[in-house]
Amino acid sequence: MPIVWRCLLTLVSIWLVAAGAFVAVQHFRSTPQKFMSYIQEHPLQGLDAVQRASIIDRSARLLNGLSTQQRREVKKSGALRSFFTQLTEEERRRFLNLTLPEGFRQMIATLNEMEPEPRKKLAERTLRDLRNSDSSELGSESDIEQIFSEGRAIFNLEASPQVKLDFAGVIAEVQRKKLNLATNEVQPN
């Protein structure tokens, strides 16, 4: 009988450890609601640089923990734009440096998994939206160059050949917009 009790005690212990791990993972897992609540509960106004940096770092970690679909949900809510507008130029660069690489990787993984037809439609819609956008909304030339270079490097490494082919027009349009922005910044008014 003692062996049965030991086995039972071992089994119960294993289940308790597993349940504890599950609860811990759920507690620390990022969700759109956690990100939106965090930035709402931690406004940046009136804080010193160290406090602001801490909030920006935590916000970036929460955002990076979201899936592509969850990031889209946060973007649609307007919470990310609201947070971003509170940042200084330097803080914006820092936040983008912390979040864009992961965002690019998630986006490319999603594109790699998509069926060809919806992916082509997405590429066409993205190209149309890019052509209708104003290059000056994208930021300074150096910021755009950094974002584009980093995104292109990740895209070249992680995108499937078919994704690269489907999005060739989008890449060309981004390069054209980047060139137009550089030309406009060089010309005096």
Q: Name the pLDDT band for 8 (thresholds 50, 70, 90).
A: low
Q: Are 130 and 173 in contact (CB under 8 A)?
A: yes
What whole-number percentage of the chain has pLDDT above 90? 42
Q: Are 14 and 57 in contact (CB under 8 A)?
A: no
**What pLDDT, on a 0 to 100 scale, did the predictor assign at position 134?**
65
Sign of CA dihedral 86, 89, 91, 97: positive
**What pLDDT, on a 0 to 100 scale, did the predictor assign at position 182?**
62
